Structure 1
């Protein structure tokens, strides 16, 4: 019975962590007023490759005329990936 409670607590913590940080990351890529939000850039950097690429493409669609934030720039740092 005790092991079930430990597993339940672990699952709740993992889900809460995912919702909290995943939600904050999504708000950055989908709704941020600027692509240069430091927390958003950091969270985007921690995302797995496909999610990070999707986030960069979403940011590019919204801020195409601005320089890309760190992690979304090409080799020269001035073009979007």
Structure 2
């Protein structure tokens, strides 16, 4: 039973590192705010992380339309 719990924990940590790392690369270093995988990962992020990510991308891509998930009610302004 302990071995199964250990394997499950390792898999969960590995998934968090893999998906979290990919999300961070999209937010902090992506070439475009319209990367489909990054948009999907940002959509699954908790609200505080998503807000931070949208703010970070707004600083990096000033003057561009926001990607899905970072758009305000009118679809043209950032959150």
With normalisation by structure 2, the TM-score equals 0.98
- SS of 1:13's partner is helix
Larger radius of gyration: 1
- After superposition, give the CA deviation of every residue in 1:17-45 in whole Å (9 maximum; x if it has no partner): 00000000000000000000000000000
Alpha-carbon RMSD across the aligned residues, in angstroms, is: 0.4
- Aligned partner of 1:35 in structure 2 is 33
- Aligned partner of 1:18 in structure 2 is 16
Following superposition, which runs of at least 4 residues in structure 1 exceed 2 angstroms of deviation? none
CA distance in 2 between counterparts of 1:64 and 1:74 reads 15
With normalisation by structure 1, the TM-score equals 0.96
Gap regions ≥5 residues in structure 2: none
CA distance in 2 between counterparts of 1:24 and 1:66 reads 22
Counterpart among 37, 47, 50 of residue 45 in structure 2: 47
Gap regions ≥5 residues in structure 1: none
- SS of 1:27's partner is helix
Report the alpha carbon displacement of residue 64 of structure 1 after superposing the two structures with TM. Answer: 1.4
